[in-house]
Amino acid sequence: MFVGYHLSARKLEDPRERLAWRLFMLWWFGLAGTTLVSTVRNLLQLFGVADPGLNGTATYLNLLLVCAAVWGLSYYFLYLFTGNPRLLVPSLVFYGTVYVVLLYLITANLSATLDSGGAANGKSSPAWVLPALLLLIGPVFLGALGYLSLAFRIHDRSQQFRIVLVSGSILTWFLGSLLVMMLNASGAIGLRLLSQFLGLLAAIAVTWAYFPPLWIQRYLNVKPVQR
Protein backbone atom coordinates (compact mmCIF):
# COMPACT_ATOMS: atom_id res chain seq x y z
CA MET A 1 0.00 0.00 0.00
CA PHE A 2 2.97 2.28 0.70
CA VAL A 3 4.11 1.71 -2.90
CA GLY A 4 0.71 2.44 -4.38
CA TYR A 5 0.34 5.60 -2.31
CA HIS A 6 3.68 7.03 -3.38
CA LEU A 7 3.33 6.07 -7.04
CA SER A 8 -0.17 7.56 -7.17
CA ALA A 9 1.39 10.97 -6.54
CA ARG A 10 2.80 10.96 -10.07
CA LYS A 11 1.02 13.49 -12.28
CA LEU A 12 0.25 12.68 -15.93
CA GLU A 13 -1.45 15.08 -18.33
CA ASP A 14 -2.73 12.57 -20.90
CA PRO A 15 -5.99 11.01 -19.58
CA ARG A 16 -5.21 7.71 -21.32
CA GLU A 17 -1.81 7.50 -19.68
CA ARG A 18 -3.36 8.53 -16.37
CA LEU A 19 -5.89 5.69 -16.60
CA ALA A 20 -3.19 3.13 -17.37
CA TRP A 21 -1.10 4.43 -14.47
CA ARG A 22 -4.04 4.22 -12.07
CA LEU A 23 -4.60 0.60 -13.06
CA PHE A 24 -0.91 -0.01 -12.43
CA MET A 25 -1.59 1.39 -8.95
CA LEU A 26 -4.47 -1.08 -8.65
CA TRP A 27 -1.91 -3.88 -8.96
CA TRP A 28 0.10 -2.62 -5.99
CA PHE A 29 -2.93 -1.86 -3.82
CA GLY A 30 -4.31 -5.30 -4.65
CA LEU A 31 -0.99 -6.93 -3.80
CA ALA A 32 -0.95 -5.08 -0.48
CA GLY A 33 -4.49 -6.19 0.24
CA THR A 34 -3.89 -9.87 -0.46
CA THR A 35 -0.67 -9.78 1.57
CA LEU A 36 -2.57 -8.29 4.52
CA VAL A 37 -5.37 -10.86 4.30
CA SER A 38 -2.94 -13.77 4.02
CA THR A 39 -0.82 -12.50 6.90
CA VAL A 40 -3.84 -12.22 9.20
CA ARG A 41 -4.98 -15.72 8.25
CA ASN A 42 -1.51 -17.17 8.86
CA LEU A 43 -1.24 -15.48 12.25
CA LEU A 44 -4.63 -16.80 13.29
CA GLN A 45 -3.59 -20.32 12.32
CA LEU A 46 -0.31 -19.97 14.21
CA PHE A 47 -2.29 -19.09 17.35
CA GLY A 48 -4.59 -22.06 16.88
CA VAL A 49 -7.58 -20.22 15.42
CA ALA A 50 -8.77 -22.54 12.65
CA ASP A 51 -12.25 -21.69 11.44
CA PRO A 52 -13.66 -22.91 8.08
CA GLY A 53 -15.68 -19.72 7.69
CA LEU A 54 -12.66 -17.47 8.18
CA ASN A 55 -10.54 -19.56 5.86
CA GLY A 56 -13.20 -19.54 3.16
CA THR A 57 -13.75 -15.80 3.50
CA ALA A 58 -10.01 -15.14 3.23
CA THR A 59 -9.80 -17.36 0.15
CA TYR A 60 -12.65 -15.57 -1.63
CA LEU A 61 -11.34 -12.13 -0.69
CA ASN A 62 -7.85 -13.01 -1.88
CA LEU A 63 -9.23 -14.27 -5.18
CA LEU A 64 -11.08 -11.00 -5.78
CA LEU A 65 -8.03 -8.90 -4.89
CA VAL A 66 -5.66 -10.96 -7.03
CA CYS A 67 -7.93 -10.95 -10.09
CA ALA A 68 -8.47 -7.19 -9.83
CA ALA A 69 -4.76 -6.56 -9.34
CA VAL A 70 -3.71 -8.79 -12.23
CA TRP A 71 -6.29 -7.13 -14.48
CA GLY A 72 -4.84 -3.72 -13.65
CA LEU A 73 -1.30 -4.87 -14.37
CA SER A 74 -2.40 -6.60 -17.58
CA TYR A 75 -4.04 -3.46 -18.95
CA TYR A 76 -1.00 -1.39 -18.00
CA PHE A 77 1.23 -3.68 -20.07
CA LEU A 78 -1.25 -3.75 -22.95
CA TYR A 79 -1.33 0.04 -23.04
CA LEU A 80 2.47 0.28 -22.89
CA PHE A 81 2.86 -2.04 -25.86
CA THR A 82 -0.06 -0.83 -28.02
CA GLY A 83 -1.11 2.61 -26.79
CA ASN A 84 -4.71 1.48 -27.40
CA PRO A 85 -7.15 2.38 -24.58
CA ARG A 86 -9.90 0.31 -26.24
CA LEU A 87 -8.29 -2.81 -24.79
CA LEU A 88 -9.61 -1.81 -21.36
CA VAL A 89 -13.02 -3.48 -21.78
CA PRO A 90 -11.78 -6.72 -23.43
CA SER A 91 -9.18 -7.16 -20.68
CA LEU A 92 -11.86 -6.54 -18.04
CA VAL A 93 -14.16 -9.13 -19.64
CA PHE A 94 -11.32 -11.66 -19.81
CA TYR A 95 -10.31 -11.34 -16.16
CA GLY A 96 -13.92 -11.08 -15.04
CA THR A 97 -14.51 -14.43 -16.71
CA VAL A 98 -11.37 -15.87 -15.13
CA TYR A 99 -12.60 -14.68 -11.73
CA VAL A 100 -16.00 -16.35 -12.13
CA VAL A 101 -14.42 -19.62 -13.30
CA LEU A 102 -11.95 -19.66 -10.40
CA LEU A 103 -14.70 -18.74 -7.96
CA TYR A 104 -16.70 -21.76 -9.08
CA LEU A 105 -13.72 -24.12 -8.97
CA ILE A 106 -12.64 -22.97 -5.51
CA THR A 107 -16.17 -23.22 -4.15
CA ALA A 108 -16.55 -26.71 -5.58
CA ASN A 109 -13.30 -27.88 -4.01
CA LEU A 110 -12.97 -25.87 -0.80
CA SER A 111 -14.98 -28.28 1.35
CA ALA A 112 -12.93 -31.22 0.06
CA THR A 113 -9.57 -29.62 0.89
CA LEU A 114 -10.41 -28.47 4.44
CA ASP A 115 -10.87 -30.54 7.56
CA SER A 116 -13.44 -29.82 10.25
CA GLY A 117 -11.09 -27.35 11.94
CA GLY A 118 -10.70 -25.20 8.86
CA ALA A 119 -7.11 -26.18 8.09
CA ALA A 120 -5.73 -27.97 5.05
CA ASN A 121 -6.10 -31.72 5.46
CA GLY A 122 -3.02 -32.62 3.45
CA LYS A 123 -4.79 -33.79 0.31
CA SER A 124 -3.11 -33.02 -2.96
CA SER A 125 -4.19 -29.97 -4.88
CA PRO A 126 -6.90 -30.53 -7.49
CA ALA A 127 -5.70 -31.07 -11.05
CA TRP A 128 -7.16 -27.73 -12.14
CA VAL A 129 -5.02 -25.59 -9.82
CA LEU A 130 -1.92 -25.24 -11.99
CA PRO A 131 -3.80 -24.64 -15.29
CA ALA A 132 -6.02 -22.09 -13.56
CA LEU A 133 -3.03 -20.29 -12.09
CA LEU A 134 -1.35 -20.19 -15.50
CA LEU A 135 -4.54 -18.79 -17.02
CA LEU A 136 -4.59 -16.06 -14.38
CA ILE A 137 -0.97 -14.97 -14.39
CA GLY A 138 0.27 -16.27 -17.75
CA PRO A 139 -0.64 -13.16 -19.81
CA VAL A 140 0.89 -10.70 -17.35
CA PHE A 141 3.95 -12.91 -16.90
CA LEU A 142 4.54 -12.67 -20.66
CA GLY A 143 3.83 -8.94 -20.42
CA ALA A 144 6.51 -8.57 -17.74
CA LEU A 145 8.98 -10.43 -19.96
CA GLY A 146 8.13 -8.13 -22.85
CA TYR A 147 8.54 -5.11 -20.59
CA LEU A 148 11.95 -6.38 -19.50
CA SER A 149 13.01 -6.65 -23.15
CA LEU A 150 12.50 -2.89 -23.50
CA ALA A 151 15.55 -2.35 -21.31
CA PHE A 152 17.73 -3.57 -24.19
CA ARG A 153 16.18 -1.17 -26.70
CA ILE A 154 16.63 2.12 -24.88
CA HIS A 155 19.77 3.95 -23.84
CA ASP A 156 18.55 6.11 -20.97
CA ARG A 157 20.17 4.76 -17.81
CA SER A 158 17.33 5.80 -15.49
CA GLN A 159 14.70 4.17 -17.69
CA GLN A 160 16.75 0.98 -17.97
CA PHE A 161 17.13 0.86 -14.19
CA ARG A 162 13.40 1.40 -13.72
CA ILE A 163 12.36 -1.24 -16.27
CA VAL A 164 14.71 -3.90 -14.90
CA LEU A 165 13.59 -3.39 -11.30
CA VAL A 166 9.86 -3.24 -12.07
CA SER A 167 9.77 -6.21 -14.44
CA GLY A 168 12.23 -8.20 -12.33
CA SER A 169 10.21 -7.72 -9.15
CA ILE A 170 6.96 -8.70 -10.86
CA LEU A 171 8.54 -11.80 -12.41
CA THR A 172 10.03 -12.80 -9.06
CA TRP A 173 6.69 -12.46 -7.31
CA PHE A 174 4.88 -14.51 -9.95
CA LEU A 175 7.54 -17.23 -9.94
CA GLY A 176 7.41 -17.41 -6.16
CA SER A 177 3.62 -17.73 -6.17
CA LEU A 178 3.78 -20.41 -8.85
CA LEU A 179 6.43 -22.33 -6.91
CA VAL A 180 4.35 -22.27 -3.73
CA MET A 181 1.33 -23.56 -5.64
CA MET A 182 3.30 -26.32 -7.37
CA LEU A 183 4.68 -27.47 -4.01
CA ASN A 184 1.13 -27.77 -2.71
CA ALA A 185 1.71 -25.24 0.05
CA SER A 186 -1.95 -24.98 1.05
CA GLY A 187 -1.05 -26.12 4.55
CA ALA A 188 2.57 -25.01 4.73
CA ILE A 189 2.60 -21.66 6.47
CA GLY A 190 6.36 -21.30 5.98
CA LEU A 191 6.07 -21.42 2.20
CA ARG A 192 3.14 -19.01 2.23
CA LEU A 193 5.20 -16.61 4.32
CA LEU A 194 8.01 -16.96 1.78
CA SER A 195 5.60 -15.94 -0.96
CA GLN A 196 4.54 -12.90 1.08
CA PHE A 197 8.18 -12.03 1.72
CA LEU A 198 8.80 -12.06 -2.04
CA GLY A 199 5.86 -9.70 -2.40
CA LEU A 200 7.43 -7.37 0.16
CA LEU A 201 10.75 -7.41 -1.71
CA ALA A 202 8.90 -6.66 -4.94
CA ALA A 203 7.24 -3.65 -3.32
CA ILE A 204 10.58 -2.30 -2.08
CA ALA A 205 12.19 -2.84 -5.49
CA VAL A 206 9.44 -0.95 -7.32
CA THR A 207 9.56 1.92 -4.84
CA TRP A 208 13.29 2.20 -5.49
CA ALA A 209 12.71 1.92 -9.23
CA TYR A 210 10.69 5.13 -9.31
CA PHE A 211 12.12 6.88 -6.23
CA PRO A 212 15.62 5.45 -5.67
CA PRO A 213 17.49 6.41 -2.47
CA LEU A 214 20.19 9.03 -2.84
CA TRP A 215 23.01 6.48 -2.54
CA ILE A 216 21.57 4.50 -5.46
CA GLN A 217 21.12 7.67 -7.51
CA ARG A 218 24.76 8.56 -6.97
CA TYR A 219 26.21 5.08 -7.39
CA LEU A 220 24.23 4.12 -10.52
CA ASN A 221 23.75 7.63 -11.89
CA VAL A 222 19.96 7.32 -12.10
CA LYS A 223 17.21 9.84 -11.45
CA PRO A 224 13.77 9.50 -9.81
CA VAL A 225 10.60 10.12 -11.78
CA GLN A 226 9.01 13.53 -11.58
CA ARG A 227 5.83 13.63 -9.52
For residues 160 and 113, which has the higher predicted lDDT (pLDDT)?
A: 160
Q: How far is CA 139 from the centre of its chain?
A: 13
pLDDT at 65 over 80: yes
- Residue 227 inside a domain? The answer is no
Is the whole model's pTM more than 0.85, yes or no?
A: no
pLDDT of residue 191: 66
pLDDT digits (tens, 9 = 90+) for 142-165: 899 999 998 888 889 999 999 999
- Residue 158 inside a domain? The answer is yes
pLDDT of residue 57: 87
Q: What is the DSSP letter of 48?
A: T
Q: What is the domain extent for residue 45?
A: 2-220
Query: CB neighbours of 160 closer than 8 A, spacing ≥ 6?
Result: 151, 154
pLDDT at 83 over 70: yes
Number of domains the chain is built from: 1
pLDDT digits (tens, 9 = 90+) for 3-39: 556 666 667 778 899 899 899 989 888 888 888 887 8
pLDDT digits (tens, 9 = 90+) for 174-194: 777 777 666 654 455 666 667
- Residue 138 inside a domain? The answer is yes
- Residue 161 inside a domain? The answer is yes
Which is nearest to 144 in space by CA: 207, 81, 220? Answer: 81
- For the purposes of burial, counting CB atoms within 10 Å of the CB of 227, is it exposed (0-12), middle (13-18) or buried (19 or more)? exposed
- Residue 178 inside a domain? The answer is yes
